[in-house]
Structure 1
Amino acid sequence: MKKLLFTLIIVTAAFSAAKAQYKDNSTELGDKAFENKDYYEAAYYYKKSAEGLSLIKREAIPYHSGTKNVKKGNPKDRAYISYRLAESYRGYENYLEAEGWYYQVLDEGYESGYPLTRYWYGVCLRANQHFDEAIKELKIFQQNYKGEEKYKTMAAKEIKNCLFAQNEYEHPFLLEVKKRKGVWNSDGSDYAITHTNQKTYFTSSRFVKNDKTHLNRVYMAAGDDSPQVIKFKDDDGIKDIEYGTPTFSADGQRMYFTRWYKVGSKITHEIYSSNFAGNEWGKPQKLNTHVNADGYNSIQPYITADGKKLFFTSNKPGGLGGQDIWVSDLDADGTPLNSKNLGDKINTAMDEQAAYYDVATRRLIYSSKGFTGLGGFDFFEANNKNNVWSVPQNMGYPINSAKDDLYYMPDTHDQKKFYISSDRESECCLNLFEVYDKSFIVKGIVTDCDTQTALPGVKISLVDSLSKQTIAHLISAKDGVYQFNIVTHRPYNLVLEKSGYFTKVLPMPESGKVLNDTLYSPDICLQAFKVDKPIIIKNVLYDFDKATLRPESKLVLDKVVTILKDNPKMKIELAAHTDSVGTEAYNKKLSQQRAQACVDYLVQKGISESRVYAKGYGELKPIAPNSLPNGKDNPAGRQMNRRTEFTVLKIE
């Protein structure tokens, strides 16, 4: 069945009546259906022609399964049918089947006759998540293609999509996407869910026994009861009218929807409204020319919660190309007063569809094919501040997939749940999905390492450790509390900065629990310092009478490495001291060697030599008496004097 965004479904009775003819003229019937853009029907007939020629065994698709192709019949016929079959499958976005048939054309050496084959083959590989292979094929296409430049541009965009998708699949957003169970999904398309007055409305092309059709209709369900089709009073009786994408006035008594039908080969899409009165939906009324321009399509209405604005999709004049998002102000009766294109921040030369707008947050969510994404329609988010739109941001995986993702709608009761429509699990059709927000809050307190009291005035930033982009930041208040909302599986760092304190960078595990920071304390704290004031580094140990660092000393110095990496503009002196045992000259020499050993270790760990200076003071700067007042030895004092210190010299 053909996937339904806004296309007529194939009428099964007419389709069945033609089946008997395929043996004689299946290619001709395929050509006719293809020209009418009935790609599902075209694929059916071309597949019959392919079977007649024994073009390729089904198990050989995808091509890398290892099964040999059986090549019979005229090679040019094989190439023509393979290409048309691939195009038909792609026409209704069955990329899995299309991939192998495009490869068939390449494998038999007929790319010159069908020069876009490799491009579309790359697109199919991308849609089927074979990203490395897709990039390889698309680059070959860019190098060899001699036709219109736009296809090279499109190939470049697809390569960007592949690279973007690889990153998104590796670091997905914290969302759980589940196909709705029960009565919600059918053998047809099911999409565009919305809620009003404790009832759920959506669009479905599920098979209707009485009508024996798969036409799109608006359905309503209360709770988990079986959905009931909505019938409109006194519609004008045009054959095979279809309805979809309902949205409602603030009181729920007026429904706006798309109404479309086919006359010959032309499909007319327009936006209508219907009022609920006398326990029924009244005759549909077409919206005025602000929305429905003659000769153009307008689809996918969305009424804001306050009932004051209508967002919709249209290809009418004044847009940027393809289908664009527009908005109209509504009067008190719900009549459009004007229409405005949302502009080049939101719209592109390609298609944009299915807008949702939150009045309270000024947040727009819609679907686009024009920006870098995972493929097909992707969800994008933008905000309106002072009537200026922010740059749309791709909402990432898994809300987006390699196929089409549309019709965002939040749940009315659960703030951590929303709905989308996607064909990610289908070869043909949109299905309804529930999405659960699994984001979490990271919360903690920053303290002074020495006083162990809450530390206000600390700038705390959440930084993406891959892109180095600051996601959010705040300044700690008197209680020292900070918190951030974590929305993806990407690796983050917490960066804590305050004048007079060492900056600290802490990797944050995906669990959201920051590991114990053991530099000076098991808590997350900042260490104060003053320029030219020494700080003792405890437990830097040496063998007796030597300058060789013990393994445990290196572990302690690793913490100094961390400080220097977190504070890249800082220069320090690293000093070693001895007690008074031995001569002054000997102690000074030994302490210099020990200080230099520490510096050498820091340099080995990646710290620039220009940032660290070794200084041996010997016994010249004791911090405790080496002897007691009675002249006896003072072991405790000598232990304190045998120390290693670092001093901040300056911050550039």
Structure 2
Amino acid sequence: MGKRITIIITVLLVTVASCLAQGQLKKGIKKLERGEYQVAIKYFEKQARSGLAVGEAQFYIGECYRLSNRIPLAEKHYKLAIENNATSDDAPYFYAKALVSNEKYSLAKETLLNHRESVEENRPEEEENEGETDRKLARIDKLLNNIDALESLKEKKAVFRVKNLTRINTENAEYSPFYHKGYLYFTSTRGGGDIYKATGGAFSAIYRAKTKGAIIDTTSIERLGKLFNTEGINEGCFALAPNGKTAIFARGNSTKRKSTKDVNIYITRFVKGSWTDPKLMKLNHPDSWNSTPVFSVDGNTIYFSSNRSGGYGGLDLYAATRDSRGSFSNVRNMGPQINTIGNEMFPYVARDRSFYFASDGHAGFGSLDLFTAERENGTIVVKNLGMPVNSASDDFGLFLFSQGKGFFCSNRPGGSGDDDIYTFINTDPNRKTVNYFLNGQVLASENGPDTPEPTLADSEVTLFSSTGEVLGKATSDKDGKFRFRVYPEEEYQLMAIKTDYLTGRSNFSMIGKTVPQEQLVKQVTEKEYSTRIYLNKLEINKSIVLENIYYDFDKSDIRPDAAIELDKLVDILKDNPKIKIELSSHTDSKGEADYNLDLSQRRAESAVSYIITKGIDPNRIVAKGYGESVPIAANTNPDGSDNPEGRQKNRRTEFKVIDIMKEEAPDKKPKGDLEQQLFGG
């Protein structure tokens, strides 16, 4: 009897211990889901010590370190997770990532190859799960390729000298340097106060210090005021517009219930001697992480990082342009040449227009590396900046305070503490660059470039590549002017849109306009070009002449040179899908009037038939021949002699808008979820 009681008590104790241990795991998972990683680790450690579900507990500890950007510390925990048969099949991949961050490249490659083989062997038979398997294989292959690229990266000639900025760094984190008019702004967790449960350290705040280049006046270090820093909230990644009158910064992860769910970007403006209350920017995406913002050189674009849906990986880089009301909208992903299945963040545009960013998805030395993106022959080429700027640790947040000199951040060994700010000098003697700009103007036109009307402000101008890729968007100023950066040996098309005007296009080529390197004298040279776009007023029955539409004598066939001009009308119809037009053909007064009428009708019908072959709805275009009945110039001079110039003007092809189709009434019932309606996915 006593033996049976002992067994029962033992079973009960084991059962109770198991329940208690499982309770630790559940509590830890809840904390992890809330982003309280440091708190969650304590629960998972208790779970691991219990001897039950050790693999799961160790995997989650690794996840806590990875998600709080302490991936080198995650290595041993992912290893223990694998050894203790963790159920998550992501453990080998993240173990390999941690190995790379600790410079154990050979073991990382071996782990990935074995993991790849396992993923292939366990490919599910159900077709709906094929996509997930392919995604896993793609990220494995990407990391394998990055490891294979290390040898060539290590051989890259070092052109930088780096030094820890010890005068400003502490045992806490200092990062996100931004220089403006003698001040270095940066983010730091040095202040103490409330504990941030994700890391176990203090919340971050924005500071600034007076500096001459990289020489910091440590006595001037100060925390920005309450407008920019709030207790119990992470503040950081501060940036000013070039004129210093607009500031943007990231804010989030509050301890208060009514705060935003994640990190978002705020904006404030300096008005009448003080900063306005920071407001949440429209470029943010609900329930997404939006951070590391920076202005373009002209202040009309903001670049930032976000993990919103529809991207290429974890964090992607996005751009938002200023509209005519001064608000930043038209958010667009910067594309797969820059963004990867990994994370891209901390974008920066230097004064010479060089674009820098940090990524753990492109080929690098470990965690985040610094890269530059350059446009070459119509494509974007991403280049690793190499050692010693990059290391196996996180390297990010580059900022140039002068040509070839700047700051960046790293948590590499040998620093003062957590993230540190470093200074660097580019010693490359061949770093001369030339930037090309296209200055344009949108003008109104009665009948082509010969009779320009006033300039058109607030026109939406888009720059396209020769393949139709959108390269940039701008809004014309009060003088109708706009500006784009262009690149050597490329061809472009520009499109301008304005209410009550027909959308217009213009071509521009950079072929043959490249300045040879041997002619460059300055470190940075700027070359300017100009163009104009003419828009016709959208009016019913206003005739617009199509230039250079010629026919062979007594024929109505479309000649190749006429087809080129008619293609322009095709573009107009495609760009203005609501208009219906009449295309008319006219002759001079030579020959019989009836014959000229018939010839002009055949020519108009021939032109319309050509346009329809280009995909235009036949119901949108009417052919009309007027013969010699509607001259716009005299066919003969007052003395009765022939007037060749007048006859030439009368032999013309025109179009006019005869109807503007009404917009269909929108369905009153909303379709799709709120996110789809507001942001288009």
| Interval of TM-score (by shorter of Structure 1 and Structure 2) | 0.5 to 0.7
Number of residue pairs the alignment of both structures matches: 396
**One-letter identity of the residue aligned with 2:112:** L
Contact 2:293/2:305 (<8 A) preserved: yes
Distance in 1 (CA, whole Å) between partners of 2:384 and 2:99 is: 21
Partner of 1:77: 53
1:120 aligns with 2:94: yes
Q: 1:329 aligns with which of 313, 321, 327?
A: 321
Partner of 1:347: 339
* Contact 1:172–1:398, Cα closer than 8 Å, also in 2: no
CA positional deviation for 1:128: 0.8
Equivalence for 1:197: 181
For residues 256-288 of structure 1, what are the alpha-carbon distances to aligned partners after superposition, in whole Å with 9 as ceiling and x for unaligned? 11222446697333322223457653311333x
**Compared with structure 1, are the counterparts of its residues 334 and 423 closer, same or farther at alpha carbon in structure 2 (3 Å cutoff)?**
farther
Q: How does 1:34-49 map to 2 (within 5 A)?
A: 34-49=32-47
In the TM superposition, residue 301 of structure 1 has moved relative to its aligned partner by 1.9
Quick check: 2:62–2:78 contact (8 Å CA) kept in 1?
A: yes
Distance in 1 of aligned mates of 2:181 and 2:517: 43
Q: Give the deviation of 1:162 after TM superposition.
A: 1.7
Aligned equivalents of 1:321, 1:115: Cα separation in 2: 19
Using the alignment, how far apart are the partners of 1:160 and 1:228 within structure 2?
45
- Output the CA distance in 2 between the equivalents of 1:349 and 1:317: 13
**Aligned CA distance change for structure 1 residues 47 and 436 (closer, same or farther; 3 Å):** farther
Q: CA 1:307/1:417 → structure 2, altered by over 3 Å: closer, same or farther? A: same
**Is the 8 Å Cα contact of residues 93 and 428 (structure 1) preserved in structure 2?**
no
The corresponding residue for 2:275 is 281
1:94/1:428 contact within 8 Å kept = no
Within 5 Å, which residues of 2 pair with 1:484-633?
none
- Give the aligned partner of residue 31 of structure 2: 33
**Contact 1:131 1:166 (C-alpha < 8 Å) held by counterparts:** no
CA drift of 1:31 comes to 3.4
Q: How many Å separate the matches in 1 of 2:285 and 2:75? A: 38
CA distance in 2, matches of 1:476, 1:96: 46
Q: What residue is the counterpart of 1:179 in the other structure?
A: 164
SS in 2 for 1:220: strand
Deviation for aligned residue 1:158: 1.6
Call closer, same or farther: CA 1:254–1:106 in 2, change over 3 Å. Answer: closer
Q: Note the residue ranges of structure 1 that are not aligned, 5 or more in a row.
A: 1-21, 54-73, 443-472, 485-652
Match of 2:262 in 1: 268
Q: Tell me if 1:139 matches 2:113.
A: yes
SS at match of 1:120: helix
Q: In structure 2, what is the Cα distance between the partners aligned to 1:203 and 1:234?
A: 11
Identical columns (%): 23
Counterpart position of 1:216: 204
Q: What residue is the counterpart of 1:307 in the other structure?
A: 299
2:76 paired with 1:100 = yes
What one-letter code is carried by the residue in structure 2 that aligns with 1:398?
Answer: P
- TM-superposed CA distance for 1:219, in Å, is 0.8
The alpha-carbon distance between structure 1 residues 101 and 231, as it changes in their structure 2 partners (threshold 3 A), is same
Deviates further, 423-432 or 193-202: 423-432
Task: Decide whether the 8 Å contact of 2:191 with 2:205 is kept in 1.
Answer: no
Q: Distance in 2 between matches of 1:309 and 1:163?
A: 36
Q: CA RMSD in A?
A: 3.9
1:297 Cα offset (Å): 4.1
1:134 aligned partner, one-letter code? A
Alignment check: 8 A CA contact 1:303 1:310 kept: yes
Matched, 1:433 2:422: yes
Question: Residue in 2 aligned with 1:536?
Answer: none
Q: Partner amino acid for 1:416?
A: G
Post-superposition offset of 1:199: 1.0
* Residue number in structure 2 paired with 1:153: 138
Q: SS of the counterpart of 1:88?
A: helix
Which amino acid letter does the alignment assign opposite residue 162 of structure 1?
I
In structure 2, the partner of 1:163 is: 148
CA distance in 2, matches of 1:363, 1:354: 14
Which residue of 1 is the match for residue 386 of structure 2?
Answer: 396
Deviations 1:377-409 (A, max 9, x none): 3222123579x5522222223322333322110
Cα deviation for residue 135 of structure 1 reads 1.1
The counterpart of 2:411, out of the listed 423, 430, 435, is 423
Q: 2:269–2:276: 8 Å Cα contact kept in structure 1?
A: yes
| Amino acid across the alignment from 1:47 | E
Shift of 1:344: 2.9
Give 1:131 deviation, angstroms.
Answer: 0.9
Deviations 1:280-332 (A, max 9, x none): 53311333x3x234444432221123323222223456644543322233368
Q: After TM superposition, give the deviation of residue 154 of structure 1 in Å.
A: 1.8
Alignment partner of 2:369 out of 351, 367, 378? 378
Corresponding residue of 1:405: 395
Partners of 1:342 and 1:93 in 2: CA distance: 24
CA distance in 2, matches of 1:37, 1:428: 23
Q: 2:100–2:367: 8 Å Cα contact kept in structure 1?
A: no
Where 1:162 maps in the other structure, the secondary structure is helix
The DSSP-based 3-state class of the residue aligned with 1:381 is strand
Match of 2:93, SS?
Answer: helix
Deviation at 1:129, TM superposition (A): 0.5
Q: Does the 8 Å CA contact 2:171/2:417 hold for their aligned counterparts?
A: no
Deviations along 1:510-551, one digit per CA (max 9) or x if unpaired, are: xxxxxxxxxxxxxxxxxxxxxxxxxxxxxxxxxxxxxxxxxx
The answer to whether the Cα contact below 8 Å between 2:156 and 2:386 also exists between their aligned partners in 1 is: no
User: 2:191 maps to which residue?
Assistant: 207
| Amino acid paired to 2:277 | K
- 2:355 aligned with 1:364: yes
TM-score (norm. length: structure 2): 0.51
Q: CA deviation at 1:221?
A: 0.9
Cα pair distance change 1:358/1:429, threshold 3 Å: same
Distance (Å, rounded) in 2 between the aligned partners of 1:296 and 1:24: 31
Separation of aligned partners in 1, 2:62 and 2:262? 28
8 Å Cα contact 2:393/2:410 also seen in 1: yes
SS in 1 for 2:370: strand
1:180 positional shift? 1.8
Q: Which residue of 2 aligns with 1:10?
A: none
How far does residue 334 in structure 1 lie from its aligned partner after superposition? 5.0
Structure 2 distance, partners of 1:105, 1:193, is: 37
Residue 43 to residue 475, structure 1, CA distance change in 2 (3 Å) = closer
Going from structure 1 to structure 2, the CA distance change for 1:82 and 1:382 (only over 3 Å counts) comes to: closer
SS of the equivalent of 1:392 reads strand
In 2 relative to 1, CA 119–206 (structure 1 residues): closer, same or farther, beyond 3 Å? same
Structure 2 residue 223 is the aligned partner of structure 1 residue 229:
yes
